[in-house]
Amino acid sequence: MIENKEEQDNVPLKQETKEALIGQMTSQVLAAYVVAYQALGLNKEFATLCMQELGRRRSLGDDFEFEKFISEEMEKIPKPNFSDLGKISASLKDAIAAVDWSAFDAKE
C-alpha cells in the first residue's frame, strides 16, 4: 500500500492507464515520451501513440512545435564516443589477464 503522496507520484503507470490518459497529457509530455523512445528505445508503441496524438492536436490547431522540441532535446543527449572502444577493450583485456583464474578452478 502506498503510504504518502511522494510514493504515489513515483509509482509507474501501467500501459493501459497511460493510453487512457494520453488525451490529458500536455504536448510537451507527449513529445518527451518520443524523445525517450528515440534516445533509449523505450516503449515504442506508446511513443507512436504520442506522435499520433501530437499530429491530431496539430490538425486541431495546437501550435506546439513538437518536431523542434524533439530535435532540441535529442541534441542535449550525449552521443557515445566510439573512438574510445579500443581503449576500453585494451583495459578489459588487461583486467582479464590480471585475474588469478586458478581460484575459479573446480575443486574435485
The domain spans of the chain are 5-101
Does this model's pTM top 0.85?
Answer: no
Cα(107)–Cα(4) distance, rounded to whole angstroms? 52
Task: Report angle CA 69, 74, 76 to the nearest 5 degrees.
Answer: 100
Q: What tens digit of pLDDT does each residue of 10-66 get?
A: 556 676 777 778 888 899 999 999 999 999 888 899 899 999 999 999 999 999 999
